[in-house]
Amino acid sequence: MKITFCCSNTNAQPWLEALQIALPEAQISLWQENTPNQLADYGIVWTPPQAFFDEQTQLKAIFNIGAGVDALLKRKIPAHLRIVRLEDAGMAVQMAEYVMMAVMNFYRQLPAMRLHQSQEKWLAPVIADRTKMTVGILGLGILGERVAQALQHFEYPVIGWSRTPKYIPNVSSFVGQEQLPAFLSRSKILVCLLPLTSETQNILNKANLSQLPKGAYLINAARGGHLVEQDLIDLLDSQHLAGATLDVAQQEPLVAGHAFWQHPQIVLTPHNAAQSLVGPCVAQISTQINNMHLGLKVEGEVSQDLGY
């Protein structure tokens, strides 16, 4: 089988080496723009240019080396082409860790304690009642469910919102637009782990975020396109929201002078909440390629209609 690797902003060498070890029979090559490339059966991709699809007309499937496919689906992709994304592949535990870091930073008031430290004050902030610190997770998929488990370990009440109902022990499931207001009104901490689709774009807007209880905290570790950035600034300035941890932005890297850089109530990280690690990702992709090649069931297939 022939495999072509076309991943932007990625150091290709370790991936190519690991793939060749995992798939010793395969002819694996690095796709290059403005050069004739071998026509491959399978593509391994991350935000490939349109020229990749225009040239690679023999592809049976593409394997995305990330969980989110929003950038990929902006390309013109033949309807018949199968698209497979990563499911967990080592990202879920990282995401759970990231969300816990943000939740604990807010709940245990680390910024206030750092301030007291700088003032040489031995002063304990008042910690709110944990049972009132409900964490609402937008998107109860592979990552959202793992985050819910981590939160439950520390006995935070957890609720979740998704397109279809979920049955996770002790996690109340809210479904669809109709139940969004009830979900938001209970979420003292809101975590966004949705895919970016036409239905979820700008979902973190003033109308929705205003429905959170006063003093709520936002964690967006999904995509910058979920958040209307000025609406967040306005809600922080009016003190409806207490703060936010953001791993993603509308434009990445965040532009110079953007209000998020210096905002005292925003913790900003450079889209590294959960990284695609070569070992677990190659293990998963090589298994799926072999399964597809043998006509077996493949996990992680994306619906071009749903957009995730």
Residues that bind ligand NDP (CB under 6 A): 67-68, 91, 139-144, 161-164, 193-197, 199-200, 221-223, 247-248, 271, 273-274, 308
CB 15 within 8 Å of CB 282? yes
Closest CB to ligand NDP belongs to which residue?
141
Give the span between the Cα atoms of 40 and 150, in whole angstroms: 41
Q: How far is the CB of 92 from ligand NDP (least distance, A)?
A: 8
Catalytic residue among 116, 240, 258, 271: 271
Question: 75 is written with which tokens?
Answer: 């390309």
Task: For the CB of residue 90, give the shortest distance to ligand NDP in the complex, in Å.
Answer: 11
Token pair for 248? 């993603």
Considering the complex, state which of residue 41 and residue 145 has its C-beta at the smaller distance from ligand OXD: 145
Active-site annotation holds for 271: yes
Q: Tell me: cis bond preceding 157? Omega within 30 of 0 counts.
A: no
Stretch that binds ligand OXD, among 64-72, 128-136, 147-155, 204-212 (CB under 6 A): 64-72
Residue 72: closest CA among 114, 105, 43: 43
Beta-bridge mates of residue 301 = 84
Residue 269: which residues within 8 A CB-CB, separation 6 or more? 98, 245, 246, 247
Residue 114 annotated in active site: no
Please choose, from the candidates 203, 123, 118, the residue with its C-alpha nearest in 3D space to the C-alpha of residue 161.
203
Interacting residue with ligand OXD among 43, 66, 136, 300 (CB under 6 A)? 66
144 binds, among ligand NDP, ligand OXD, none (CB under 5 to 8 A by kind): ligand NDP
Q: Which is nearer to ligand OXD, 68 or 157 (CB)?
A: 68
Q: Where are the alpha helices (DSSP H) in 68-109?
A: 91-107
Residues in the site for ligand OXD, rule: CB under 6 A? 66-68, 276
As annotated, the active-site residues are 223, 271
